[in-house]
Amino acid sequence: MSFTLISAMSDDPNGRPVGGTEYSLCRAVPGGSGITVVALLLSHPPNLTSLQNTLHKLQKSHPILRSKLQNPTPPSPSFSISTSPSLQIQTFDLPTTTNLLKTLSPQDPPRQIPPFHLLLEHQLNQNPWSQQPQNPTSQFDVFYATLYSLSESRWVVALRLHGSVCDRTSAVVLAREVVWLMREGEGGAKWEIEDEGCGGEVGLAIEELVPKGKGDKPFWARGADLVGYPLNYIRTANLGFEDVCTDRRTEVVRFQLDRDETDHLLSKCRERDIKLSGAIAAAALIAANSSKHLPNNQSENYAVLTLVDCRGSLDPAPLDHHLGFYHSGILNMQSITKGERLWDVAKRCYTAFSNALKCNKHFTDMGVLNFLMCKAVENPGLTPSLSMRASYISVFEDPVIDDSYELHQEVGLEDYIGCASVHGFGPSIVVSDTIRNGQLDCSCMYPSPLHSRKQMQELIDEMKKILVRGDG
């Protein structure tokens, strides 16, 4: 299953039609899912000119950052490359930011929400790609930047990108390169960004790089998947929906473990030869099942989507710093009964994922899942209560590892978060995990008010307790 896309591009030799996964994101982003945001909290005053030059340098080194989506609506979206960087930073001075925060602050949050967190959520819900005109000559930037003044000693830099050009790995690369260039601007050692090595062109789509034979699947097997996935989904449970009618937005709940708690959790994963993603998914499943107060013998099936960074498995493999969207998903169903133990469920979750990965399901099912995603975007009624939910939870196979504390101190980087919007088509909760200087830091995105902040805060608090407590 793949998409046949006929390019409507002009005479741009460096552009190309979008691939199948990129196409599904082009369909999802206007509705609110797939907008990637990297937010940086700074204690050193950023120089606007220097920051502008930094972002232009990134655009020169990564052609996809200066690309434009041409005719981003069906049937023929494509990337067209600008010859020179054009990004302009939008700035908010202190009074303007203060007034904005007053409008963003919820009236009755379950706990106080920091201004940095509110601005991150605000960026996740800024959607220049919505309400796109049906015009084959229309073009849209894929990269935006905003600078907020929080106080006389705090600033926020927010980078917002279209999902088709930036997966989680790309967001990490982008944040790292921005920080290094900011260090250079403050008198640090000169640091050159490596060119992506694609000659000023947008790199190939993931579908073009799948190793020969690994994405193959018989025609009838693909047909069975097109029927089987929706039928299995009908039998899955969801977290309770609180408001299915009001317009949605993405909100974020964050939880962190200290170093000792993180070490203990990771050691338990190593003992059982499973990855952290299995434990996180298991804790979320147990927390959801517990919140429903079901009878002891009643089980429910939940859909778990594990996102895999495919870069290392592609042929040729993109460079580590190559930007784009190169993730794929493996969808599994897990049955949960009241009273189950964390490590039993974690082992089941990870084993199911690992077996599917060995069978290359992240490649063989890529086209089917993209096709079904587009159908659900077109027909919300295919999902329960028009909720547009694809699964209960989505986790990443591997966490981001960041041990850059000293570098962050040099540039005054006090905090940062990278995540993506989910209030269009997507799961009820996406957990993006980072091991930051030895401590687990998780950002959990969810659609509001389909799920309320109170509901999700209670769920995440319970997940954290389960991960810390383990099986006792």
Asked if residue 149 and residue 216 are part of one domain, the reply reads no
Domain containing residue 71: CATH number: 3.30.559.10
Asked if residue 132 and residue 268 are part of one domain, the reply reads no
Across residues 128-156, what is the average pLDDT? 86
Select from 165, 160, 137 the least CA-distant residue to 63. 165
CA-CA distance, 176 to 298, in Å (whole number)? 47
| 287 contacts 469 by C-beta, under 8 angstroms | no
Is residue 196, in this structure, part of any structural domain at all? no
Written as one string, the DSSP assignment of 3-23 is --------S-TT-EE--HHHH
Across residues 320-344, what is the average pLDDT? 93
Residue 320 or 85, more confident: 85
CA-CA distance, 288 to 461, in Å (whole number)? 11
Select from 378, 24, 366 the least CA-distant residue to 215. 366
Asked if residue 247 and residue 147 are part of one domain, the reply reads no
Asked if residue 246 and residue 181 are part of one domain, the reply reads no
Phi, psi angle pair for 10, to nearest 5°:
-80, -150
pLDDT digits (tens, 9 = 90+) for 243-287: 999 999 999 999 999 999 999 999 999 999 999 999 999 999 999
Q: Which two tokens stand for residue 139?
A: 């073009």
Domain count of the fold of the chain: 2
Asked if residue 213 and residue 92 are part of one domain, the reply reads no
Asked if residue 379 and residue 248 are part of one domain, the reply reads yes
- pLDDT interval class at 4 (50, 70, 90): very low
Domain containing residue 235: CATH number: 3.30.559.30
- pLDDT interval class at 106 (50, 70, 90): confident
Alpha-carbon distance values, 398 to 263, 306, 368, 369, 461 (Å): 16, 10, 24, 21, 22
Across residues 162-182, what is the average pLDDT? 95
Asked if residue 273 and residue 135 are part of one domain, the reply reads no
Asked if residue 69 and residue 113 are part of one domain, the reply reads yes
Domain end position, chosen among 185, 219, 239: 185
pLDDT digits (tens, 9 = 90+) for 40-75: 999 999 999 999 999 999 999 999 999 999 876 667
